[in-house]
Chain A
């Protein structure tokens, strides 16, 4: 049972998209925590 090109590309593109957005999400959370004074 071989994975198709489409299935492989869907898995990899979703994973890469999430990974690309993660730093942005973390920085947004950081700014939110900083503004609320709850970084630490």
Chain B
């Protein structure tokens, strides 16, 4: 029987895998980015990414360590709805598909989501948006780095800070060397590894345990997991849906890809990416339902995936899980590092500190900012680096739910409503975040995103209805053009 006290993978094998994949990602990142000459090359990979790489990067970035580790945990805690609810996170990608096309049409020379908010709504709303967006981006970065250290420790017994430092350093290095081209190129390989690994473990679990045994043992020991009217699970489903949509609609991780994908590629890439992502939480999560049939004692719910894989497959399963988790962590961390450094370079450094910075100056600045972001993330993750913080990772993510959900409607209205009110957009984010956070503390974590989105929608609709402000769409085509105050 496997338990958390015994790492499922021998440390020497884990070090070998870490070293091999670290070298692969860094060399590939350098090779892919060796022709980058301008900030545009580095930040947007030449603005002509094709369908294969675009689809894979959309999928890889959305498959985080949460997907591979939390989907089994949710299946174990919330049953069938846990894995189905998690898979609805794909709706965020699917719904972003038409937005990606609209973004590319309206802003053929755009760089960041901040560019859009600045040109569309003016400086006040832009600054409010930057606060919301950077709080979320930094929260996600730190939680990913922490998850890296925690998972590597749990899987292989490598010290938390050592594991976290290795994965963060590797991602900073190849993002620094190759920019978005390195991120997208490595994402392709990481996507193939993650999905093939998850499917491999699922097929072997089906083969070795079987649905009859899984169903029978669940009915005997945990019948609520098969209940389709499990109230907590249904509530989770709606919160997760809104949270995912908010994350994708506002974050520069997804906007930078909309700018980078070739013409007519963005819509199809996000649509295919979402549809192909949909089954992944089911495949990764279902194996947790086999725990009663396998007689596994699960000491920590978030480790159920690796425990089942190790029980069914032995050392091979442990190796596959380790590689999948490393790929999932890297594919999200690199995207966040690249997109956040772009946002800081364009909207903070150039937007507020050096407005006349040249292309070359921005090219150098974005590299310095990637390193600084890595350092700050490392410091924050080190400070919080005690193993019992696993619970607070989820709390941190739910906390940002109010922020991201309050940004959904200003983004949608800004892209499609010609008369959307700029002040209304700012206040919809301020009030949505504020009241969403209040509900997080007063009612519970599961309503933060829901309340944030509802308040934001009400403010956006009312302000636009009472004080409409016509907008010239042509202004968005010139990212360095005149900005409303």
Whether B53 and A39, one on each chain, are in contact in the complex, defined by CB atoms closer than 8 angstroms, is: yes
Number of interface residues of A (CB under 8 A): 28
Number of interface residues of B (CB under 8 A): 43
B5 within 8 A of A: no
B96 CB to closest chain A CB (Å) equals 19
Whether A15 and B50, one on each chain, are in contact in the complex, defined by CB atoms closer than 8 angstroms, is: no
Whether B53 and A5, one on each chain, are in contact in the complex, defined by CB atoms closer than 8 angstroms, is: no
- The complex places the Cα of A13 from the Cα of B282 at a distance, in Å, of 10
Given A26-B52, A29-B51, A29-B52, A12-B198 contact (CB < 8 Å): no
B223 neighbours in A (Cβ, 8 Å): 2
Task: Return the CB mask of B85-99 against A: 1 if under 8 Å, else 0.
Answer: 001000000000000
B225 CB to closest chain A CB (Å) equals 9
Which of B56, B181, B226, B279 interacts with A19 by CB under 8 Å?
B279
B148 CB to closest chain A CB (Å) equals 24
Residue of A8, A12, A39 with highest tally of chain B CB at under 10 A: A12
Which of A2, A13, A15, A40 interacts with B227 by CB under 8 Å?
A2
Task: Return the CB mask of B24-66 against A: 1 if under 8 Å, else 0.
Answer: 0000000000000000000001101111110110000000000
- The complex places the Cα of A26 from the Cα of B188 at a distance, in Å, of 8
Residue of B46, B52, B87 with highest tally of chain A CB at under 10 A: B52
Which of B53, B206, B219, B226 interacts with A12 by CB under 8 Å?
B206
Which of B192, B199, B226, B283 interacts with A2 by CB under 8 Å?
B226
Task: Return the CB mask of B271-310 against A: 1 if under 8 Å, else 0.
Answer: 0000010111011001001000000000000000000000
- The complex places the Cα of A35 from the Cα of B281 at a distance, in Å, of 33
Whether B226 and A15, one on each chain, are in contact in the complex, defined by CB atoms closer than 8 angstroms, is: no
B residues in contact (CB < 8 Å) with A: 45-46, 48-53, 55-56, 80, 84, 87, 181, 188, 191-192, 195-196, 198-199, 202-203, 206, 211-212, 214-215, 219, 223, 226-229, 262, 276, 278-280, 282-283, 286, 289
A residues in contact (CB < 8 Å) with B: 1-5, 8-9, 11-16, 18-20, 22-23, 25-27, 29-30, 32-33, 38-40
Residue contacts A-B, CB under 8 angstroms, 18 given = A1-B229, A2-B219, A2-B226, A2-B227, A3-B226, A8-B214, A8-B289, A12-B202, A12-B283, A15-B283, A16-B202, A19-B199, A20-B203, A26-B56, A26-B191, A29-B51, A33-B51, A40-B48
